[in-house]
Structure 1
């Protein structure tokens, strides 16, 4: 019985390796880009994407056939949320330890992008509430359907429509004020 169990375990690991490898080849860069859109940090975005692939490998037997990409998107969105929460906690701590003076140094990326029209839209997108921003990024950057977005965020399709509508309306208002 041990030999049969070992063969079964080896076959399951091989299937997970093959499945995740094929998804990795196709989805690695899009998952890193998706994470970056939330966290704006290259290394952190890669780490979030890598954690999503590791998680998928661990849960390969539990993920339904053909749902690997959706699982990855959901893992990346959740990982980005977690990283942003962690960053906020760190920032609050740093703010509390400083005597009210807070220095902010713009990165080279910020400097380069500030001249571009996309940077303006990107900045306005950042002013939206997190859920609206997530829905718009998933909809217009990854071109996901409402059902796929609902699945990735764990919300109802009707909520996706409402968040997209409100987010677009807010962006339109911001652009008109400009």
Structure 2
């Protein structure tokens, strides 16, 4: 009959059995728990001050709260990389500032992309006519050669100079002028045929 030796209660036995020893799991929980506890205490102690920081950068309470909550989530996710727990508040402050900047950039971009209302609103008939013209223009643009379409879109819809268009497309200034003039001529023909 084989003799079964007692299993030692060290960390080596845990690694072999796949079961963590009580001592090892307690140490791991303390190390991880300390960081989470520290972040929790930082949250309780500094939430309002971080909210005030966000309020200096943003204009509405909801956005400020969102930014501060997101900052805590990000620092919590990266808590193992924070080597010095006393710098947690500094990381949080920097994260609040960065997230506030990002929120402002998104707002500014959104405002730029919004269409500006016309001072005098057109009648329904004029609006329908404008819509038909736009559809005709889009259809005519799709019929152009690829380079002509790119040059015209960048030059007139993106309001770029010929030099900027040349740099963006990686072609010469002369090519931009040639594609542009040929594209406009082709648009005139196409638009004349549709009207």
Rg (Cα) greater in structure: 2
Whose RCO is larger (CA < 8 A, sep 6+)?
Answer: 1
